[in-house]
Amino acid sequence: MFRINKEKNVVESLEEVTFSKLGFRERENLQEWICHNPEMFGEELLIIQKEFDGFNETRERLDLLALDR
């Protein structure tokens, strides 16, 4: 990823860093950011439920269940 520095007319490389190194967690942070801002995926989404586990014959779970247009 890069940052554009308009004043200097240069592109600066950004240091790669993980969410865990920054102290962010999946459920407490990432999931909540998406839930409150689903448009971050570039389309209109309606969040239906968090932690959806209503599947038959499986123990699978969805972090977020959403509908698109």
Cα(6)–Cα(50) distance, integer angstroms: 41
66, pLDDT greater than 90: yes
pLDDT mean over 39-66 = 90
Cα(24)–Cα(19) distance, integer angstroms: 5
pLDDT digits (tens, 9 = 90+) for 7-48: 999 999 999 999 999 999 998 999 999 999 999 999 999 999
- The pLDDT, as a whole number, for residue 59 is 83
- The pLDDT, as a whole number, for residue 28 is 93
All structural domains of the chain with their residue ranges: 25-69
Residue bearing the bigger pLDDT, 59 or 43:
43
